[in-house]
Structure 1
C-alpha cells in the first residue's frame, strides 16, 4: 500500500506539469448582463418605447425587456448596444422575449449582430456560410442560445432585431465569452489562394471570415480565421465545419505565386505596447502534397504605429520533419521584445505553406516616467486589473501540488489508522468470542460508512479490507490524475472554484466544474449526432457492416429537408418530408395513412468528416434502434447507408415535443372554453403519464437505459399519443436544460439521479428517477424548469445531500394539479436508496387506475 501510494504521488507530480498544457479554453461564460457586471450606462439603444422598456431592462432577469419605439418595420434598423468595457472574445448570444408573467408577448423572431472594436468602425457579423441573420425566439418566455460560428473579437455589440412584418419587438439579452487578453486587434497578409492538385478536390485556402478590407489581393485591418480558435486537421482537405469547401480551415499560399521573394509577410497590430515572449503558429505539414511548415521566420518590431521598424529582427529556424505529416504548432521565441506592431516573414520550405491559427504570448508593458529602484518596481508592479501584467500561474500550480500531496498523506494516514483498528478488533474477537457484530460496536465504526458505500462489507478480514482500501485509493488517484480540471488555475475555472473571467483568456484554462468522478463516464452520453444514445449493457458491438442492419434502404432523393432540429460533434438531426414512405414500408407500416402524401420524419445524418469510431457508433445506434418495437417508442423506419452520408430515418410526430405542447396550454376550465385558449384536461395529463411509463417499461424489459428521459424527449401526435424519442439533447432550444462539460451540453443534471451525477452510474433505477421529474413537468404544464430556484452548481450540491442522506436534501414541490397519491409516487421515484424506488412495471400498474377513473 505504501509503495503504491508513493508511486501515485510521483505520478501526480510528473503529470501535473504535462496536463496543464492540455487545458483547453472554452470561452462560454456569461459576461455580466444578468449579474450586473455590465453597468446600465454601458447599455444603450437607438430608441425605447417607454421608460420601463429602456435598454437597461434588456438584462436576462426579472420581467423587463428593451422595446424599441413603435412598431418595428422590415426596413428599420433599431438596435440595442452593449459596451463590454474591453476587448472580448464573444462566442454566444442568448435572447428572450418580454413575458412579464404572461402580461407581455413581444419577442424578436430574428436579429442581426454588428460589432466594433473601437466604437467607430462597425462590422456586420455573418456565419461561415455568409448569412447575417440569426434565428431568434419563437415565444416570449423560452430563451434561445446561438453559438457564434465564427466567434468575434469586439468591445461594442449591437443587436438589431429583424422582422418581415410590422410588429412589436422586445428583447432580453445575455452575452457569453471571455476577455481577449492576446491584445491582437488586426493582422495583414496576402489573400489565400486556390490549390488545384491533380486527382484531388480544389481547395480554396482563403480567409473566408476576415472582417477587414481586401485590396490588391491583400488583407488588412481585420481579424479572421487565424484567430477563431479552430485548429485545422492533418489533412487540409478535411474541415471541422459542415457544408463548407475543402481547405476551409486553412489560409494558404503557393511559393511561386508570390514572386521570387520566397516568403509570406504578415503584420500584426496590438491594442498597446507589449513585451512578447513567443508566437505560436499552427501549420500544416502534409509534405506528400507539397505542404510543409515554414523553414524559418524573421520578425521585426515597431514600438509605436508611427515609428520605424527596428533594425534588429528576431530570427528563428524550424526543424523540418519529413516523417510525420501531422499538422502542428510551431512556437517561435520572441525574446521579450517590446512593440505594438510586428512584421514577420515566413519562409517557404516547399511549394505550399498553410496556417490555421496564430496566437501570441505577451505581457503588457509597464510605463514609468523615471527609473525606479528594483524594490519599488516590485511593489508598484501590481496595478489595477485593467493594466496588470499577465503574471505566471506558477504560485497557483505550486499550491495545487502541495494540496494534492497533503490530501494523499491524509488518505495514507486514514488507511494506517484503519489497519490499527483492525488489529485491535482482532484481539477483542480472540478474547471475547461471544461478541456480536463487532464491526458495528467497535472502533471500526469510523470506517463503516465508506465500507458500506463502496461494497466492502463482504470482506471477511482486515487484510481484505486493506486490499479494498488500496484499490480504491489507486482508483481515486488515477481519476485525480486523469481529470485535468484539477490542474487548471483556480482563477480560470479549475477545481470547484467559481471562475474569475477577468483573469482568463481564450488561451487559458476554462473548464466547467462538473464532478470529476462522473465526467469520463457521462461524456459519452451524447451520441454522434448530438442525440442521446441508449445504454445497452447486454449489447456489445465491435464492428458493424451493412449486412448487420435489418432496416430497409430508402431512396435518399425522396427525403426533402425542412428544418434542422439539432446537431452534435459528428452529425445532425433534420426534420424532413419522406415522399412515398408509407408505400415503401408496405402493409403494417406504423405511419398513419396519408393517401400517398409525404410524411414528416426525423433524419439523423452522419457527417462526411466523421471518424471511423463515430461511424461505427452510428451503425451501432442503428442496430440498437432497429430492436425497438413498441407503440410508445419512436421507431426506426428505414436507413440510407448505401452511400455517404449515412442516415437513419425515424418517426416524427406532428405536434412536436411534449414540453413545447404543454407549455403553450392551460388546464381545462370554463375560462379556457370561453376564451378559446388551448387547454388540456387532468385526464389528458394522466393518459400521457401512463403512456410514458408503458414505453419505459418496454425499454426496461430489454435492459435498455434511456439516460435522458424528459418531456423534451417525448413526441406527441394529434391524438395525444406519446412516443419516447432521444434527440432533445441536440436541440439548441433546450440547451439550458443541460449542464456543460468542456463546452458541450451533455448533462441533464436536473433530471438525473444522484448516483448518475456523482458516480456516472446509469441504470433503469436512474431512469425511474428521471421519470419522477418528467411527471412533475407534466403536472406543472412545463411552465417551470425543475429546481428553477437553484443554479446548476446548487443542483449538484443537492445531489451530495442525497448521497449523505442527512435530511438536508431539497425535493421538488408538489404541483397544484397533481393528486396527492401521484405526488407520493414521484417521491418514491426520488428515493435515495435504489431498492426503494419502484420499477416501471410497478409505476405502470400504479398509474393505470388513475386513467380509468
Structure 2
C-alpha cells in the first residue's frame, strides 16, 4: 500500500506546471477567435493584403498578409498578433499566399519577436542560439515549426527574412495554451559552473533566460524555470540532445559570492493574486553534495511600488538522505495576496538546484479576464503529440465531475496524512539505529561519453552591450590635448572558472584573458616596490590608435618620445634616428577591481622577467598614479594573422604584379621563431593558453614575437567562444583536455602550436575548422576524448610539406605523452630550415 502511494506521488511530481508536448492548441487565427483588431502589421501592400488576412488556411481578401514593396535583407517588416492574455507558445504554422492558385509569394524564413507587456520586445532563439526559423518552400503547404524552447508572451511578431530582394506574403497560426501561472519575470543569481570530480563539467546556468544580466544576476525575464521541462534525478543527464551536462537545472554553490547560506529570488506577476502555494522542482542527489533547500521564507508586495510586507511565510522542509530522486517541494503561501514575491531559499548542502518553479493562486480573476482566458482554450487540439482535447468552457460534464474531484482530493489528503505519519515514525526508528555500524559501498565512477548527444556543447545568449564611452588615455600627452587623466568606466567582473591546475595561478590582465599561467610561488606577495621596470613619464606617450579592449582595460598603440634614450644602453629597440618609437600600452581601468589591480601588478612582474628574442618585451611602466599602464614592444607589421592574410605565396606572378608575398622559407622561419619562444616559456614552466597567429607580432625583418592581447581586439572576437557571457575560450585552438577537463599545460600549448602552424601554411586565409560551427567544434572534442576514430582533424594545407603535417598531427595526439615537446619541435623545424 505504501509503495502504491509513493508511486502516485512520484507520478504527480513528474508532470510540470505545464507540458509543452500537450500544450499545442490552435490559438484562434484560423477560426477567428483572434479578432481583426488584434492583428496588426508594420505595413501592407494593399488593403486586400492587410494583416487581418494573415489567417492560416483562409483565403479572404487577396489571400494573405503582404508587407509593402520588395522586402530587403535588412528590412524588419512584421506581422503582430495580440493574444489578449499571457500564453505559453509551443508551435508556429505558416503558409504563403496561394490565392486560389494565383499567388506566388511566401516567406522562406522568418524571425520571432515577443513581448509580455507590449513595451519590451525579446527575440526568440533556439537552444543553439539561432534566431532564424525555416519557413515555406511553396505557396500552399503548411510548415509547422516547434519552438524549442517554448515562450511565454501575449504579443507575437513574425518578421519575414529574405536574402535577396523579393515580395513576401504570409498566413499564420500560433499554437499553445493559456499561461495561468501569471508569472511574467523572475530574478535570481546567475547559475554557476560545477566541476564534479570524475565527471564532465556541469554548467548550471539559465541558458534560455530572456531577461538581462546586471552585474551577473538574472533580472526581468523568464527561462528554464518556466519552460515545462523537469530535470532528471541525475542532474548531469538532460532531456535535450546536444546540450551540456546540467542543462536542465539552475544551480548555485553554497560558499560562492552572493550565495552564502541562501539564494534569494524575486517573482513578479501580471496582476495581484491570492497565492495558495509554490511548487519548486529541486534536485536531491545528495551523494554529490546536492540537496533540496532546508527552508524557505517568502515576503509579499501588494503593488510593485509598495514596500515589502514585514511578515514572511516560512516553511521548513523534511530533508531526505535516503531517496536521491529529484522532487517537487510544495511550499504553502497561506492565501497571501500580492503582485510580487521575494523568496529566500536556504542551503541544506553544498549545492542547490532547481529545474521548475510554479505558483498556484486562488480563483480571484477579474471577470473580463476570466472570460478572455476561457475563450482562448479551443475544443480541439492540433493533432500531433497531443493526447485528448482540452474540455470546452461549456462542457456539461464539467459539473458532474466536480463531486468526483472533491472526493479524490479528500482521499489524497488522507493518504498524505498517513504518509507523513509513516515518515515521522521512520525518522524515530532511524535515530535509534543511528549508532549501528553501517557499511558504505564505494561506487566506481567513470566518465561515459557514449554518443554525440552526450558531448558537452555550450551555448550562450547575447551579451548585454557595454555602455558607450570615448577612448581613454594614460594621462598627459598620451591622450587628446586637454585630457589629463583616464576617463572612468564601468568595471565588468570576470566570472570565468579556474581552468588551470591547482598549482597554477592565472592572470587576467587588462584584456580579461589568461596570457601566462605560472607557478604560484613566483608571484606570492607583490607591491609596486617589487617592479623592476622603470617608470616612464606619461606625457611622453602620444596616443595613435586603440588596438583593443578587454574586461579590465584597453590596449593602445602609442608613440613614445625619447624612449631609446630613456632605456639607455642595452635597449632592445632598433635605432630610430631619434624618431618616436611605436609601443603597445596596456592600460588598466581606473575603476578596476582590487583583484584586477593585483593581477596587473603581477603580470608586470612576470613580464619583466621574460628575456627572449621571440617574446614581447616589457619596456617600462606608468604605475606611480592611476590608471596603471605597462609599455611593451610593438612591431611595425602588426600581428601575424593580418600580415599573412594579406599576402600570397611567392611566385613569378606575384613578382610581375608587385603582389605582397612570402616564400616557403619565410613561413618556416616564422614557425621556427614561434617554437623557439614557446621553448623558452616551457623551460620556465609558463603556460601561454592562447597561442595563435593573432598573438604573434611581426616586424619589418620578419622577426616574430609572441604577445597576448589578441583577445582584446574586436577583429578576432569570432575566434573566441563565450560561455553565458562569462568566460571566453579560443576553442578552435584548444586541446580536448582543456575544453572538457579544464586542464592547461605545456602539452595543451603544443596542441595550440599545431593549429598555429596550420594557420601559417594556409596563410591565415580561413579559420581553423571553418566548416564546423562552435558547437560542432566542441562536439568534435568529445570524439577526441572517446578516441573511436570519428574525430575530425584539420586538413593538410597545400603549401605544407608532408613531414610538417605529420608534426602537426603529432601535436594533436589524443594522449598527452604522445605529443612532442617544444624543444623537439624546435629541433625538427630547424632541420627543415637547413634542408
TM-score band by shorter chain is 0.3 to 0.5
Q: Higher helix fraction: Structure 1 or Structure 2?
A: 1
